[in-house]
Structure 1
Amino acid sequence: MDAIKVDSKLTVENWVNEYNDALFSWAFYKTSSRETAEDLVQDTFLAAYHKFDSFKGDSLPKTWLFSILNNKIIDYYRLSTKTTKRTISMSEDKGYEVTDGFFDETENWKVRAINPMWNQDEELLDNPDFNNVLKNCMGDLPENWHFAITSKYLTDKKADEICQDLNITVSNYWQIIHRAKLALKKCLEIKWV
């Protein structure tokens, strides 16, 4: 093994010791799965080792590693969107049909009582069973809706980037986000309660 490879291996080993916990916490927060978070962090360090030559030191190692991890998280959700059985997901037309029940004929909100389950949202997000139901409900969304919600809330992409990825207008984007949240709310109230 040449000196550069030994140096890069030692450096990455030091990074593992120093940044593993922070990277794992972020990946777990984004995926709600211990196994997935561990895999993503491991993939991050492997990528850092293989791309060590491209690290120029213009940023802190932690920043570079988080950048790699965020790309791994995005890839994870893209892959899960593609591999999720779409036979059970609703079409976009069906999505509009489901969420139209929240509005009257003049497009105003219908008055409805708030389900008490939504008063405990912070506790729900810490519940692995709830997170599984949420993931299933997200898998039922139309593909564009799922991508928009995942990009906005799980990968922190900006609206203009998501619009560009989906080739849609900003107003269409906000309508998709709104409708997707309504569909998720309805699905969770049925499958969780």
Structure 2
Amino acid sequence: MEIVKENSKKILEKWVNHFSDELFTWALYKTSSKETAEDLVQETFMAAFNKIDTFQGKSQPKTWLFSILNNKVIDYYRLSAKTTKLTFSISENRGYELSDGLFDETGHWQSNEINPIWNQEEELLDNPEFNRVFENCIQNLPQKWKDAITYKYLTDKKTDEICQELEITVSNYWQIVHRSKLLLKKCLETNWTH
């Protein structure tokens, strides 16, 4: 038994040396928080160590570790969604009202102007302050909308799985995603000052 544990430690040490940076980069991209990303990578390696005897080599170690990390990211967002019930979060009806206000009676955009912040998209994603504002904008979405956006862009779940979990139709799902993106755009343009 001791030999098995010693081999597991050596294998995990090798994996930590080979994959830590890539896992951290992915976790940082998904969470926009250095501390959270570090914690999630550490939790990933701890989980891998505890389950290393179940790794059968049917996939590459990197693939297995990324799978564990993606589950940790999903758990992180689920927990934060449950614990971050903001009192100023908008209701679903209010979300529809706000997103409807972006169009005129004929269904055309109220304004065709493009905010200049969108011309610097790549730089924005590296800006911690922008990411903080973006996270606050996501948190202010109606709960079901926030869940739909989070599942769509931060997990590998398929549309039908998301619809089943949220108990909505596919057409309702796409409408929610579209309206959520519109509200996020409006929120960012209102709250992000550069």
Cα RMSD, aligned residues only: 1.4
d(CA) in 1 for partners of 2:121, 2:9: 43
Distance in 1 (CA, whole Å) between partners of 2:62 and 2:84 is 32
**In the alignment, is residue 124 of structure 1 matched against residue 133 of structure 2?**
no
Shift of 1:156: 4.1
Counterpart Cα distance in 2 of 1:127 and 1:50? 35
* Structure 1: 5+ residue stretches without partners: none
Deviations 1:83-128 (A, max 9, x none): 1133111110111111111122343332432222222112111111
* Partner-residue secondary structure (3-state), 1:87: coil
Aligned to 1:184: 184
Structure 1 equivalent of residue 84 of structure 2: 84
The alpha carbon displacement at 1:161 in A equals 2.2
- AA of the residue aligned to 1:40: L
Q: Runs in 1 of length 4+ with deviation above 3 angstroms?
A: none
Measure the CA separation in 1 of the matches of 2:188 and 2:156: 23
Q: What's 2:24 paired with?
A: 24
In the superposition, the TM-score normalised over structure 2's length comes to 0.94
Between the aligned residues of both structures, percent identity stands at: 67
Q: Which amino acid aligns with 1:66?
A: F
The answer for the alignment partner of 1:114 in structure 2 is: 114
What TM-score, normalized by structure 1, do the two folds share? 0.94
Corresponding residue for residue 34 of structure 2: 34
Aligned residue type for 1:86: L
Which consecutive residues of structure 2, in runs of 5 or more, have no partner in the other structure?
none
CA distance in 2 between counterparts of 1:16 and 1:123 reads: 29
Kindly tell me the number of residue pairs found equivalent between the two proteins. Answer: 193
Structure 1 residue 53, shift from structure 2 partner: 1.5
Aligned match of 1:73: 73
Matches within 5 A, 1:80-159: 80-159=80-159
Which amino acid in structure 1 is aligned with residue 154 of structure 2?
Answer: L
Distance in 2, Cα, partners of 1:113 & 1:148: 28
Structure 2 Cα separation of the partners of residues 87 and 99 of structure 1: 20
- Separation in structure 1 between the aligned mates of residue 148 and residue 118 of structure 2, nearest angstrom: 22
Partner SS, residue 101 of structure 2: helix
Matches of 1:85 and 1:75, distance apart in 2: 16
The C-alpha deviation readout for 1:23-69, integer Å capped at 9, x for no partner, is: 11111111111111110000000000111121111111111101000
Deviates more, 1:109-118 or 1:181-190: 109-118
